[in-house]
């Protein structure tokens, strides 16, 4: 399952925080290649570090405390707020012209 952790800071976090977040994710992930860490300073009240990774699928309520504790252990007390999300995977499909040709057409209604 995909996990997204957003950690807000009252000021721009030090560069070491990005590495600390990556270390936290390594303790939680089921796929080391799924780890993504980025600084997000756009359209926010506060700067934030966004951490994304994959975990073994399990009940979300069972892993929220584990995620919070791990991130807190590696980042310490510098952050002002933390949000954990479990975004659903979105599947996108590209349709070719032949796919579109096979789709039933709806009759137009003139109003």
pLDDT band at 92 (very low <50, low <70, confident <90, very high): very low
Tell me the C-alpha distance between 13 and 82, whole Å: 14
Is the pLDDT score of 42 beyond 90? Answer: no
Q: Whole domain around residue 29: which residue ranges?
A: 2-89
Tell me the C-alpha distance between 46 and 10, whole Å: 6
Q: Is residue 85 part of a domain?
A: yes
Domain CATH number, residue 79: 3.30.70.1710
Q: In this predicted model, which residue has the larger pLDDT, 102 or 93?
A: 102
Number of domains in the chain: 1
Q: Which helix (H) or strand (E) holds 101?
A: helix 97-102
In this structure, how many other beta carbons lie within 10 angstroms of the beta carbon of residue 96? 8
Is the pLDDT score of 12 beyond 50? Answer: yes
* Token reading at 38: 């980025």
Tell me the C-alpha distance between 110 and 75, whole Å: 61
pTM (two decimals): 0.73
pLDDT in tens, 15-34: 889 999 999 999 999 899 99
């Amino acid at each position: 399952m995909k996990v997204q952790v957003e950690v807000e800071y009252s000021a721009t976090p030090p560069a070491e925080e990005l590495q600390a977040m990556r270390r936290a994710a390594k303790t939680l992930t089921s796929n080391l290649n799924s780890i993504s860490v980025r600084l997000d300073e756009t359209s926010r009240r506060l700067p934030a570090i966004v951490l994304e990774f994959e975990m073994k699928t399990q009940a979300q309520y069972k892993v929220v405390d584990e995620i919070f504790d791990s991130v807190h252990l590696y980042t310490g007390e510098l952050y002002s707020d933390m949000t954990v999300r479990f975004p659903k995977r979105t599947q996108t499909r590209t349709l070719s012209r032949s796919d579109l040709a096979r789709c039933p057409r709806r009759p137009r209604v003139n109003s």
